[in-house]
């Protein structure tokens, strides 16, 4: 801790200390002029500055400044490229410096538990490993420019319905492996200046008062060094919040909560040392921001708009390309249909909504090509049906070589503050795609949406291009991709299920209740679909290219690994085509499901990298895995543990498609101590060599006793012994006692248990 911070805290009055732990308004920290403590400003906008006018007294009431809108969180995750995401962060950090912003309120990395969450466009992925790695890169980029970030929403904020009051009820293993893991990765790899607590409760405790998660896990276990801040309006009891380790309440309550905190300190209800710790962390944040401010920073919005275009190219995912209908050729007569072609949907609603100066449309980008015609067909703003527009588009589709339908979700369908009620596109869009497909065999669908949609027409169209919400440069980027000026390289950071009912959270999600049970446990997203071998529309990690990539030799530098060691994995990637492109190499780990003692996912993402290959070029991609790639959270020992056994290390095209694999045997440095009791079974004891030495003879006594009592002949004895493992596998020590006809006594059983546990 900076010595000046300690000195300042000693000089502060109790009232001043308390005031520093609340914002002075919606966007600023409190100034203490007599001690030279400045106020600093924070700003919404993980994908672009949403800086409110200085007189703004509430989010969204007054206009925010003109800004540049970059791709939303889901689109950034679709790049599967940590270098690109870091560059985005650096650009946003420079913009913040020019606008004297102390911290950018993002990134949001909550898990996409259901496709219906209204804020899914802002979040990265259904997979915590991908979310954590992308977040760490973004944070490192922003903070490299001397500007803070606010990793949010901590934690288990996975729906907008009743978001201020619902209780996420999650078992400890699921909480650690799925809903905390992304935050853990980001905190350890990037040390965000701030972490923002969520609105909701977790297992009955409001997150703004959750000492176990805000302090014991975040700080004591993970080593977080920064400031915690409430989501705007997330505080319920400020006194409990300070005791739990919530440093800054935003926005300020204009003294309402201050009086309660002062009273609690004076009465002894709140330890002033807890308050002092919060004050120290707030001051550390304030002075870090002030000390790192660059008065000479300049914001070149034109330059950043061009960058937003280039960035959008990296996010677009080619989902289907039958008969290589894409890329389009310049001399083809093509019809563009849909309001999104002229008025793109490029960002989400709510606190991340950016006031853009320039937005590209695809039609504007294509004005050079006289062979491209346009029909509106349907509006981009709502789901209304206009018969004349509908019929005109179908008629025009007869007379062209190919049709590109620009479909998507109108902004009213998904936003912060509410959840979707279904996964469907507006009916008019689905109907028009059907009608056009009936008169033209070469239909391409371009989607502009923040989360998965159903595609009842998928078998009727030749290509689907998923742009998600790609920022203000989406129009030009889409045109470039359609015509092959850009080669798509995005991958899905989430599964597209065939129907909503297939999603593992379907039974519990958005029920009109205050307690939400996460019954699916660790089986979110692809973990569920691969475990059940359930067909999906498009799997996690899926994405096509105009290039043709193949894989060559895969190697692991060891076949046996202790959990304090690492394994290096290499694989050759070859571009077999004449088209330069980028391939996303995905590495998953699959445990030996048949021999594991716990329930595990079929496979889990543990590495990814994007590599550029020129025409006919070959490159070797390298991964290094440590024990975390093989570990699960063991609630018996309240820690991560590597179960001994064989693991497949798999190179995959996506979560469903394994290209190559190698098997590595992993053993823990220190085996987990097993506690044996009356319910310990034959199979487990026999697999534990030391335990079998103790218990084996008693099972033998039981077996011999059974055979003797039955007067079995030699042939029957031999047959019985041959099937022993099947017969005895689930037999417990108490079963042996009960069924041994006195061959195994109660005293002997207690002696065996004592010896096993000694």
HEC assignment per residue over 315-327: HCEEEEEHHHCCC
Q: Any alpha helices (H) in 498-595, and if so which ranges?
A: 526-532
Q: What is the pLDDT of residue 687?
A: 80
pLDDT score at 408: 98
CB atoms within 10 A of CB 322: 13
Per-residue pLDDT reduced to its tens digit, 522-544: 999 999 999 999 999 999 999 99
| Gap between the Cα atoms of 241 and 260, Å rounded | 12
**Mean pLDDT within 2-17:** 93
Alpha-carbon distance 29 to 516, whole Å?
34
Three-state DSSP class for residue 484: coil
DSSP 565: S
pLDDT of residue 58: 53
Query: In the Cβ-directed half-sphere of 584, how many Cα atoms lie within 13 Å?
Result: 32
Q: pLDDT-based confidence at 716, cuts 50/70/90? A: low
The Cα–Cα gap between 352 and 123 comes to: 11
The Cα diameter of the chain in Å comes to: 99
- Which residues does 484 contact at the CB level (< 8 Å), separation at least 6? 326, 327, 328, 546
Inter-residue contact 194 to 227 (CB < 8 Å): yes
Share of the chain above pLDDT 90, in %: 81
Question: Which of 414-418, 487-491, 713-717 shows the highest mean pLDDT?
Answer: 487-491
Give residue 718's pLDDT: 65
Q: What is the DSSP secondary-structure string of 584-653? A: EEEEEEEE-TTT-SS---S-EEEEEEEEEE-TT-EEEEEEEE-GGGTEEEETTTTEEEE-SEEEEEEEEE
- Domains belonging to the chain, first-starting first, are 3-292 (3.20.20.300), 304-532 (3.40.50.1700), 549-667 (2.60.40.10), 682-757 (no CATH)
pLDDT in tens, 336-376: 999 999 999 999 988 889 999 889 999 999 988 899 999 99
For residue 702, pLDDT beyond 90: no
Q: What is the DSSP string of 287-300?
A: HHHHHH--TT----
Strand order in the sheet with 201-202: 205-206, 201-202, 167-169, 515-517
Residue 625 has pLDDT above 90, yes or no: yes
Closest by CA to 706, choosing from 688, 685, 723, 687, is 723
Residue 52's pLDDT band, with cuts at 50, 70 and 90, is confident
Check pLDDT > 90 for residue 303: yes
| pLDDT greater than 70 at residue 56 | no
Decide if 517 is catalytic.
no
**Percent of the chain scoring above 70 in pLDDT:** 94
Helix (H/G/I), strand (E/B), else coil: 654: strand
The CA distance from 76 to 195, in Å, is 20
Q: Per the residue annotation, which of 81, 231, 247, 424 is the catalytic one?
A: 231
What one-character DSSP code corresponds to residue 65? P
The confidence score (pLDDT) of residue 749 equals 82
CA distances from 330 to 159, 326, 333, 484 (A): 44, 12, 8, 10
Show the CA angle centred on residue 343, arms to residues 340 and 344, nearest 5°: 60
Give the pLDDT band (50/70/90) at residue 195.
Answer: very high
The Cα angle at residue 620 between residues 616 and 621, in degrees rounded to 5: 120
For residue 713, is pLDDT > 70?
A: no
């Amino acid at each position: 801790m900076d010595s000046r911070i300690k000195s300042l805290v000693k000089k502060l009055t109790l009232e001043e200390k308390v005031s520093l732990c609340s914002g002075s308004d919606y966007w600023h920290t409190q100034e203490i002029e007599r001690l030279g403590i400045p106020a600093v400003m924070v700003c919404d906008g993980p994908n672009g500055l949403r800086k409110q006018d200085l007189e703004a007294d509430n989010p969204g009431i007054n206009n925010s400044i003109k800004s540049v809108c970059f791709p939303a969180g889901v689109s950034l995750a679709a790049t599967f490229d940590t270098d690109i995401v870091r560059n985005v962060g650096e650009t946003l950090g420079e913009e913040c410096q020019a606008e004297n912003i102390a911290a950018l309120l993002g990134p949001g990395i909550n898990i996409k538990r259901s496709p219906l969450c209204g804020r899914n466009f802002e979040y990265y992925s259904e997979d915590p490993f991908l979310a954590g790695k992308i977040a760490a890169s973004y944070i490192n980029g922003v903070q490299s420019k001397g500007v803070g970030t606010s990793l949010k929403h901590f934690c288990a904020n996975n729906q907008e319905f009743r978001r201020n009051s619902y209780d996420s009820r999650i078992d400890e293993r699921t909480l650690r492996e799925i809903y905390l893991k992304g935050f853990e990765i980001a905190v350890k790899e990037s040390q965000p200046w701030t972490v923002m607590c969520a609105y909701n409760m977790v297992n009955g405790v409001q997150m703004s008062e959750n000492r176990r998660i805000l302090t014991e896990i975040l700080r004591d276990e993970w080593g977080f060094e920064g400031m915690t801040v409430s989501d705007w309006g997330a505080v319920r009891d400020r006194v409990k919040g300070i005791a739990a380790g919530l440093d800054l309440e935003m926005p300020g309550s204009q003294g309402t909560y201050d009086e309660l905190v002062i009273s609690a300190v004076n009465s002894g209800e709140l330890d002033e040392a807890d308050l002092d710790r919060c004050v120290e962390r707030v001051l550390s944040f304030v002075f870090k921001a002030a000390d790192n401010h660059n008065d000479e920073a300049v914001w070149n919005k034109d330059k950043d708009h061009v960058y937003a275009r280039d960035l959008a190219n990296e996010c677009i995912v080619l989902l289907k390309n039958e008969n290589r209908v894409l890329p389009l050729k310049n001399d083809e007569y093509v019809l563009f249909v849909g309001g999104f072609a002229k008025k793109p949907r490029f960002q989400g609603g709510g606190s991340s909504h950016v006031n853009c100066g320039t937005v590209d449309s695809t039609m504007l980008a294509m004005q050079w090509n006289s062979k491209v015609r346009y029909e509106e067909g349907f509006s981009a703003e709502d789901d209304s049906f206009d018969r004349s527009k509908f019929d005109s588009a179908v008629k025009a589709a007869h007379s062209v070589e190919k049709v590109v339908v620009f479909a998507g979700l109108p902004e009213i369908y998904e936003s912060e503050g509410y959840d979707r009620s279904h996964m469907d596109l507006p009916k008019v869009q689905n109907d028009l795609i059907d009608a056009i497909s009936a008169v033209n065999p070469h239909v391409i669908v371009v989607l502009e949406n923040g989360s998965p949609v159903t595609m009842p027409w998928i078998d009727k169209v030749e290509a689907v291009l998923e742009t998600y919400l790609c920022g203000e440069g989406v129009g030009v980027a889409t045109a470039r991709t359609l015509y092959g000026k850009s080669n798509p390289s995005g991958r899905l950071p989430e599964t597209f299920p065939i129907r909503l009912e297939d999603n593992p959270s379907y039974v519990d999600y958005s029920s009109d209740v205050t307690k939400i049970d996460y019954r699916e446990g660790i089986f979110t997203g692809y973990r569920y679909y691969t475990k059940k071998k359930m067909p999906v529309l498009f799997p996690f990690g899926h994405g096509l290219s105009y290039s043709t990539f193949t894989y060559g030799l895969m190697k692991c530098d060891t076949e046996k690994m202790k959990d304090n060691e690492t394994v290096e994995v290499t694989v050759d990637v070859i571009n077999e085509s004449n088209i330069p492109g980028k391939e996303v190499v995905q590495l998953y780990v699959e445990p030996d499901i048949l021999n594991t003692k716990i329930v595990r996912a079929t496979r889990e993402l543990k590495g990814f990298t994007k590599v550029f290959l020129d025409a006919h070029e070959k490159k070797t991609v390298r991964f290094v895995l440590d024990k975390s790639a093989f570990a699960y959270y063991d609630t018996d020992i309240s820690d991560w543990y590597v179960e001994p056994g064989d693991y497949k290390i798999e190179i995959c095209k996506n979560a469903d498609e394994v290209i190559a694999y190698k098997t590595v045997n992993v053993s823990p440095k220190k085996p987990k101590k097993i506690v044996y009791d009356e319910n310990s079974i034959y199979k487990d004891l026999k697999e534990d060599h030391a335990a079998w030495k103790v218990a084996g003879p008693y099972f033998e006594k039981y077996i011999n006793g059974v055979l003797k009592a039955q007067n079995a002949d030699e042939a029957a004895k031999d047959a019985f012994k041959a099937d022993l493992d099947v017969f005895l596998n689930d037999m417990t020590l108490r079963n042996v006692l009960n069924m041994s006809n006195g061959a195994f006594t109660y005293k002997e059983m207690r002696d065996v248990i004592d010896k096993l546990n000694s």
